[in-house]
Structure 1
């Protein structure tokens, strides 16, 4: 018993020392600085740009940075996997989204450092935060749960979050100057949902011909919403010519007049409403964080080419400033002459002089361990340098490893002329073979083929292919679209599972992976099809190779896909519930 107590005290002492170690001043040259990957994704300043609080995704920490000295003065453990942070209007608290633990962490600022005081449970994977213009409430988008959470400020233990069901997985948020109106951007595709925060409902949804929405901003007069995004042309082919001239994929800003955004009518295309970022020979893959200056010029992170771009809507020219790897979030100084950018994959901040278009300083957030094959694969996955002229990265089609939901005409099945849905790569390691027709027996073959014949960049080396495979192997399947929370719901799921078996669905979608290594003729045309895994099927916007089905219900009701008999509405409901639980 004494031995157990001694061990317990030793463990507690080690944990205490570790906590103090992380919270201590994390300076680049400090011998006691913690060596780990941080992956900064968001930043705020409590004192007009003298110090910054930086949310680190992978380490679950917040770094406090003195921008003048370029030193990290503290690194505090806040959660498990941070996705965003913001400051309350009183400047006394920071709100942090912890995607790993599905929490909103309320932190009191003590000597400029965040100290957690309250944790509010949230739906699966909180992704972005935004406080309204009046400082009365905060909105939180939760991606996989397709929920928007609204909380009144200040937040207390008695706070009662309100949830709004979204028509898509949401990511970026922006409050309009119109009272109580919020824009929620699609996490994968091109939808923009308008939400009435008082009524707690979606007013309407616009569908842009776009995907990978990387940032939202208002112009100086609040007359336009500006959106950074990509456009995939499903009529183009992944030929060298179509990639070279930007016919396949483009990187853009879209300016939407606020009255049109508030209207239910389809959005019109107007002169200067779409800004092309980059050009043939010098593209600008994966636009991300965005800011608009008072003179109307824009500052946008070009995350795939490791640059920040500065331009004007009416001009084609784009001034570029080099940054670290994968710039994502941008902060502008009060005079709008300087910017601070998070370079996510280099664990650093970049201080930029926008007038002189130069980088003034790079600030390391601390020492990093030697990179693994997975780490190198992550850098490659988000690197548009793998493509011809930097038009796209792997992430451009497989957003965060998932799918942008678009159709693309590749040589994945050996020929052109049959555009197919971009497949999700989440959980892909276990779902051999690969490609729609199952022609790729190894993931290495699939990666090499995709980089070579789709992205059309330099021929990938064996080490690059190996590292990309290591990264893909670490991608976990998405959360289920629906989890039973009541006994009645669980009974429905159980009946659906039994029905799945009795209808012989497992012949092609065999548990536990819910796929099979064989290919089948399902009436799609010139080739047989390898069935995609049904794990995470509820997180797919459309279904079938050509996106013809809008939902699981439509697969069963309208197309009666491979069903040996007609099923009743009750059976359909149970089968859908089961599939949504995968």
Structure 2
């Protein structure tokens, strides 16, 4: 009875038949396991932590992406992306004491107020949630609507004010946590995913990944004081301020715009990983160190923290499944002209200066204990918090957040997507270019269109099985072969097995775009977007002649006058317009910096369809509609 009840709730009859047989089997087995565990949980006490988890295709997975630690060492908390929950763990016993829903796609977690509250960013829901920790339980204390995909959070030294990066609109929001309200916003630059605040609360560092730069905000005046460019920078990770307020530290990757060949990859001339630091007290050129070891590079660095005494700098390398630990005092920082493309040799000679600790899975956010040597790691794919002793260089404990189950096909596909060890010498993963399945901020030469140095913007992978043909020129009509070329040509790695490719496709097809921030909460269009829809469908604009159907693409090749002599193929595959608001570079070669430039210069109706130029009002309305797709 219980099995059928949960299955009917999760997969009603009108949807169950849409599942592949193997996924249907996984869901049914998961429900059987839930039916065995739930009655016991109900008899023993509060089962809300179990009921809070989503019961979809990833039924029991939590997927922790960040971790926060109680200063007294009594508890830790994780924010779990797949289940959309926050877990409270009793540290002495290592058991999950409570779990509560916290949003549709939570991304970040910090302590706030008196240290006994937690603040969570609900990225897809557009909200910030504050939870109180009391007597081993979590209580929702406040919900603040901020909109526009909140991600990273910085909390003021007194714990009463929070600053949140709003990725979709390039803003930082300031929140009054005592009153539980949004107080003001500041435009800082594109894709402000992560940020950090100085110990005195006067300087806010913001990593604008869409513009490859760090913005430093003077908090009292609420203005961007200065910015520091990260040439070729992509995928800026979490940020950490030093206790003296002098520097902010952060990991990132760099793209070097060279052809994808084995020699170029091994030299670090395609993609590489860095740790950087930027001054908070004055504008100076950024300094950096290179992370990549010849033959065994580092990929997708994400979380960063310092030991309590600040003698160690610690980074989670998500793509290569490891923790990187550095002796901070004498790191070989280089500014203008540096660093080199491969790790400084002196780091390799001194094991106390640099060490790599294998963790497996996908390590993400990290927190450090007051003892200076214990590190807590939120491991997404292991569904666990790993407790690591960085002095002995070993995992001393692993705290499970959910039920131990075998990976289903979607989870299998995730492990493939985020695994840099499938590339040549583990330099980069699928995620490195297709950030979380979407896009990045650079035009890249993936060698997939048959010619070198014909740079192309990265296409999103959501709905990939339904938006063929593939590649910008549309020459690829076989998705299986397209994925094979990605592994063997773009990544210069080994051929993926049929099971791996099927799992990867299943995972990508399971991905959902976040709710569009340029629509109302109920999905309605603004008045400007409604007028823009009429422009989009008009004979003058003629957009629908190519951008049609559910995904706004006709799947055909068109010559729109934007090709070059270096292209091996003629014409371009109509790209989907769904989620176009997320992009920061437009057209195949990134020549347009915004949609207005697309519609008035390079891809105007007059140029493409030989109709007429749009008026300023029509252009503005059309842009409003495009952003709403």
Superposition TM-score tier, normalisation by shorter sequence: 0.7 to 0.9
Aligned equivalent of 1:87, options 97, 101, 111: 111
SS at match of 2:508: helix
| Structure 1 range deviating more: 333-342 or 118-127 | 118-127
Following TM superposition, by how much is the alpha carbon of 1:202 offset from its aligned partner in structure 2, in angstroms? 4.1
TM-score (norm 2): 0.81
Contact 2:168–2:582 under 8 Å retained in 1: yes
Aligned equivalent of 1:298, options 307, 313, 319: 313
Aligned equivalent of 2:250, options 218, 221, 227: 227
Aligned equivalent of 2:619, options 572, 577, 580: 572
Q: What is aligned with 1:115?
A: 139
Residues 97-127 of structure 1: per-residue CA shift (max 9 Å, x gap): 2234332222222203211133222204322
The separation in 2 between residues aligned to 1:537 and 1:24, in whole angstroms, is 37
Following TM superposition, by how much is the alpha carbon of 1:517 offset from its aligned partner in structure 2, in angstroms? 1.4
SS at match of 1:448: helix
SS at match of 1:416: coil
Q: What is aligned with 2:436?
A: 400
Aligned equivalent of 1:381, options 417, 424, 430: 417
Identify if the C-alpha distance between structure 1 residues 343 and 141 changes in structure 2 by more than 3 Å, giving closer, same or farther: same
Q: What is aligned with 1:3?
A: none
The separation in 2 between residues aligned to 1:480 and 1:100, in whole angstroms, is 9
Identify if the C-alpha distance between structure 1 residues 398 and 75 changes in structure 2 by more than 3 Å, giving closer, same or farther: same
Contact 1:220–1:292 under 8 Å retained in 2: no
Q: What is aligned with 2:46?
A: 20
Unaligned 5+ segments in structure 1 are 1-6, 27-33
SS at match of 2:237: strand
The separation in 2 between residues aligned to 1:42 and 1:308, in whole angstroms, is 15
SS at match of 2:147: coil
**1:409 matched to 2:452:** no
Q: What is aligned with 1:519?
A: 557
Q: What is aligned with 1:4?
A: none
Q: What is aligned with 2:285?
A: 268
- 1:338-377 equivalences under 5 Å are 338-377=374-413
Identify if the C-alpha distance between structure 1 residues 220 and 347 changes in structure 2 by more than 3 Å, giving closer, same or farther: same
The separation in 2 between residues aligned to 1:227 and 1:469, in whole angstroms, is 32
Q: What is aligned with 2:294?
A: 280
SS at match of 1:558: helix
Identify if the C-alpha distance between structure 1 residues 342 and 94 changes in structure 2 by more than 3 Å, giving closer, same or farther: same
Following TM superposition, by how much is the alpha carbon of 1:476 offset from its aligned partner in structure 2, in angstroms? 2.5
Aligned equivalent of 1:551, options 585, 594, 613: 594
The separation in 2 between residues aligned to 1:423 and 1:203, in whole angstroms, is 34
Contact 2:112–2:160 under 8 Å retained in 1: no
Contact 2:129–2:143 under 8 Å retained in 1: yes
The separation in 1 between residues aligned to 2:469 and 2:126, in whole angstroms, is 33
Identify if the C-alpha distance between structure 1 residues 160 and 450 changes in structure 2 by more than 3 Å, giving closer, same or farther: closer
Aligned equivalent of 1:510, options 544, 548, 561: 548
Contact 1:287–1:300 under 8 Å retained in 2: yes
Following TM superposition, by how much is the alpha carbon of 1:304 offset from its aligned partner in structure 2, in angstroms? 0.7
Aligned length: 552
| Structure 1 range deviating more: 116-125 or 572-581 | 116-125
Following TM superposition, by how much is the alpha carbon of 1:397 offset from its aligned partner in structure 2, in angstroms? 0.7
CA RMSD across the alignment: 2.9
Residues 381-404 of structure 1: per-residue CA shift (max 9 Å, x gap): 111111111111111111111112
Following TM superposition, by how much is the alpha carbon of 1:208 offset from its aligned partner in structure 2, in angstroms? 1.4
Q: What is aligned with 1:463?
A: 499
Contact 1:522–1:529 under 8 Å retained in 2: yes
Following TM superposition, by how much is the alpha carbon of 1:35 offset from its aligned partner in structure 2, in angstroms? 7.0
- 1:151-230 equivalences under 5 Å are 151-156=175-180, 159-177=181-199, 179-187=201-209, 190-209=212-231, 210-230=233-253
Residues 458-500 of structure 1: per-residue CA shift (max 9 Å, x gap): 22111111111111112223544633699x9833323322222
Residues 440-461 of structure 1: per-residue CA shift (max 9 Å, x gap): 2233222111111011122211
Q: What is aligned with 1:125?
A: 149
Q: What is aligned with 1:55?
A: 79
Identify if the C-alpha distance between structure 1 residues 560 and 529 changes in structure 2 by more than 3 Å, giving closer, same or farther: closer
Identify if the C-alpha distance between structure 1 residues 354 and 94 changes in structure 2 by more than 3 Å, giving closer, same or farther: same
**1:534 matched to 2:556:** no
Following TM superposition, by how much is the alpha carbon of 1:418 offset from its aligned partner in structure 2, in angstroms? 0.8
The separation in 2 between residues aligned to 1:189 and 1:336, in whole angstroms, is 35
Contact 2:163–2:174 under 8 Å retained in 1: yes
The separation in 2 between residues aligned to 1:461 and 1:336, in whole angstroms, is 43
| Structure 1 range deviating more: 339-348 or 251-260 | 251-260
